[in-house]
Amino acid sequence: YLKAILEGIAAVEALGYRRLAELGAPRLTSVRSVGGGAANAAWTAIRQRKLGVEFRAALSDEAAAGTARLALKGASEAGLL
């Protein structure tokens, strides 16, 4: 039962990334995952299979670190730095 739920969540995630690409966003080429789910090998395998991209080790296991990196990149691209 739980595996079916995880398969469904991963399928929705894949649809979301596909739609973003249709709207002009860069295609997904890899994923870095953090948090409790990232430590679950079965969940990671399901996501990797559904998304069809490489899963890479994150530089930090803190979600806030990734958020800060995205904010820094966005601020830099917007000329705010």
Q: 16-31, pLDDT tens digit by residue?
A: 999 999 999 999 999 9
* Inter-CA distances, 41 with 4, 48, 53, Å: 16, 10, 16
Against a cut of 0.85, is the pTM above it?
no
Domain that holds residue 28: 2-77
Model pLDDT for residues 28-67, shown as the tens digit of each residue: 999 998 888 888 999 999 999 999 999 988 888 887 888 8
- Distance between first and last Cα of the chain: 49
Q: How many domains does the chain have?
A: 1
